[in-house]
Structures are given as structure tokens and as C-alpha cells.
A and B are shown apart, each in its own frame.
Chain A
Amino acid sequence: MDFLLSGLLAVTWQQWLMFLIGGLLIYLAIAKGFEPSLLLPMGFGAILVNIPLSGVLNQTIEGVGNTQGIIQWLFETTISASEALPILLFIGIGAMIDFGPLLSNPKMFLFGGAAQFGIFFTILLAALLGFNLNDAASIGIIGAADGPTSILVSQIMNSQYMGPIAVAAYSYMALVPIVQPFAIKLVTTKKERMIRMEYNPKSVTKLTKLIFPIVVTIIAGLIAPQSVALVGFLMFGNLIRECGVLGSLSETAQTSLANLITLLLGITIAFKMQAGDFINTNTLLIMVLGLVAFVFDTIGGVLFAKIMNLFLKSKVNPMVGAAGISAFPMSARVIQKMGLEEDPTNHLLMHAISANVAGQIGSVVAGGVVINIVSQMLK
């Protein structure tokens, strides 16, 4: 009977805990609807990789020799060796985004920059808490509110905390409707939240929409060359969408490609959720720091809007600044809802969507900038 019980007896308490965490992620995905496309594969993957002598990981079996595990192979091939999965996902994301509202209201670009403040604040906090620079930078990028960017940066930075970082990034993206209202109310008054904004979009020509992705890639690439993979693939997807002659490819990028990669990305990332790497106090610390990153992104965007209001004739509702994060379109919806709660006739959705789209650009640029600066420092 020993051969039947050997697996059961080999499970450590850390692996039992990982089964629970996997179950919790699956529960949050199904019952609460928290980023189900990512949290469910990650949760199930967490169970797969923590079964002793799991066949999804490379193993050395006595008398047989080395065996290959599919999740380990996927991780080593598509993330560790090439960062292919997160980068390719950006083609799909780019194809999904309509930059029209932002192009017709370009001052909203500024919020896409301001709301990245949480990234840098969190890097500082992580460094103060004793994380080395690679790990601190990777933890800070949770504030990009962008899962693929977080995964990519932590991989390039060779961080040992990719698993907790991915879990934190996707969990807090799902919790934007809870985190952002709390942070916004901390730094705004009711009067500020009731500010009305007129919506007078400028007309945007097709030529502008076509030139825009090319210009963004060149500008971002010249200033932060490491952002080219991220920004370039995002903008490549957008160019496919806007060119008007690749309808079928655009459709494929938005649906089949994005779905396929999302499906594989979650379960592949689970490779980094093995009990030995995941169960430690730093994981808890990373979850807290991730929350701090989201809160300070929000505060950064709101305070920037308040500073802008010192110079503007027609005031900006500071809540719109908070939509400058990458969590699209959740953040814009939160701002619209909060605006309506304060004044049922105050519609902020189009302004918030413009800022939210700017946040998509801001977050990938921030990812590239962080890689650039940190790699130069570590030379």
C-alpha cells in the first residue's frame, strides 16, 4: 500500500497551503468574477505545480531518468527564454483599443503619465523594506495595473517574485472598483468630485489614427529603448486595427490570439507558484506593496488633476486623473459611477475613458523606462 500513499505522505504543509491558495484564486475567479481569465488558470496551475513529483514539472525519476514537464517547458520557452507570451498579448490588446477618445481630447494624455506615480513610490518603499533593486523595480511595476507588463518586467529583471507579483497585479486589477473609490475619497472633497466637465471632442481624421501608433513607437523607443517590445507590439496591434485593410487579422488579434495567449499565460505563470518560492513573508509584503502601488497611482492622478486646476479656466474633475491607470475600462467605469453618485447628471465617462486609454500607453512606457533605468544602474 505504500506506493499508493507515497504521494499523499510527500505533501508538505506549504504545498497544502498552495492548494488552498489555488482554490481561493479559482473561487475568486468563478464566484466573484475577479479577472477569471487569468486567476482561474493561475489557481489551477498552482495546484498542478504543487503536487509532489508533478508531471507538469521536469523530474528525475529513478530508473527512468529525466522527464519533461509541460508547464516548466512552457515557462522556460515562452516566458523565460523569450518573454513571448506577454509581448504577443500586447498585439491583441493594441487591436482592442480605440485611441479615438484620447486623440480627440489630447490633454488627457497627461493623466496617463501622472497615474504611474504609484510605481515609483512603491519601488522606493520596497527598497526601504530591504528588497534588492531588481525585485523592488519588479514589485513597483504592479502599479502599472497591467498584468503582462508586470510579468515581463519581473522576468527581464530576473526577479524571484514573479509568482506573487502576477497574483498581486491581477488581483488588484480586479479590485479597482474597491481600491480606487477609497483612494479618491482620501484626497478629494465632495465639491471637487462634483466638478462638471464639458465634452467637446476635436474631430480626428483617419490619417491621425494611422500615424499615431507609428509616432508613439518611435518617440517611446528613442527615449526608452527597452519599451520598444511593449509599446511596439501594442501599437502594431493598433495599426492593424486602424489601417482598415486587415479586418480579419484585427479580429483574430482581438479574439483568438488574445484568448489563446491569456489561456496559456495564466497556467504558465503558475510555474512560479511552487510552494518553495511562494510561501514566505515576502509574498505577503508584496501583496501589501501592490495595494500601495494602486492607491498611490490613484492619488498621483488625482493630485495632478488638482495641480492642473490651478492653471486651467475650465476645471478638470480630479477623479478623472485617477483613470490614468492601465486597468481598462474598469477604472473609467468607476469614475463614471462615482461622478453619478455625487451628481446624477454629471457624466464623466468620455473624459475618464480618454485618461484610461492614456494609462495604457503610460504603463507600457513606464515598464520600459524602469527596465532602462534599473539596467543602467546595475551595469
Chain B
Amino acid sequence: MNQNVIYALEIMGKGMLSIFVVIILLTFIVLLLTKVTNLPLFKGKDDAE
């Protein structure tokens, strides 16, 4: 198989993995942020939308 095709397969694997790592981390951080910033300590009277 052409070397570039092997590289392209590697790009596909590493690329999708990297994107999902970023996305999943962001999902968890947003969930966490939402929970934390909704605590009375952080939540002002009018800041929720």
C-alpha cells in the first residue's frame, strides 16, 4: 500500500481521537461548570439565562 495512504489512515485515527478527547473534556468541563456556577456561592440573582 502507498505510504501516503498508510499515513492518511494514521491521520484519521489520531485525528478523530484528538477531536473526541477535546470534545469529551469540554463536555465534562461544561457539565462541571454548570453545576459549580449554579451553586448559591456563585449564582447572583439575575445571572442565569
Contact A133 B8 (CB under 8 A): yes
The DSSP consensus for interface residues of chain B is: helix
Contacts of B10 in A (CB 8 A): 373, 377
Contact B27 A365 (CB under 8 A): no
B12-28 vs A, CB cutoff 8 Å, 1 = contact: the mask equals: 10111011111111110
Query: Is there a chain B Cβ closer than 8 Å to A205's Cβ?
Result: yes
Number of interface residues of B (CB under 8 A): 35
Contact B19 A107 (CB under 8 A): no
- C-alpha spacing A219/B24, complex, angstroms: 11
Contacts of B7 in A (CB 8 A): 127, 133, 377
Contacts of A219 in B (CB 8 A): 22, 25-26, 29
B21-40 vs A, CB cutoff 8 Å, 1 = contact: the mask equals: 11111110111011001100
Contact A208 B30 (CB under 8 A): yes
Query: Is there a chain B Cβ closer than 8 Å to A203's Cβ?
Result: yes
Q: B4 is contacted by which of A136, A216, A361 (Cβ under 8 Å)? A: A136
Contact B49 A137 (CB under 8 A): no
Give 23 pairs: A residue, B residue, CB < 8 Å, sorted on A. A107-B27, A109-B23, A112-B23, A113-B16, A113-B22, A113-B23, A113-B24, A116-B19, A119-B15, A120-B12, A127-B5, A137-B11, A205-B49, A206-B47, A212-B30, A215-B33, A220-B22, A223-B22, A361-B26, A365-B23, A366-B19, A373-B14, A374-B11
Interface residues of B (CB under 8 A from A): 2, 4-5, 7-12, 14-16, 18-27, 29-31, 33-34, 37-38, 42-44, 47-49
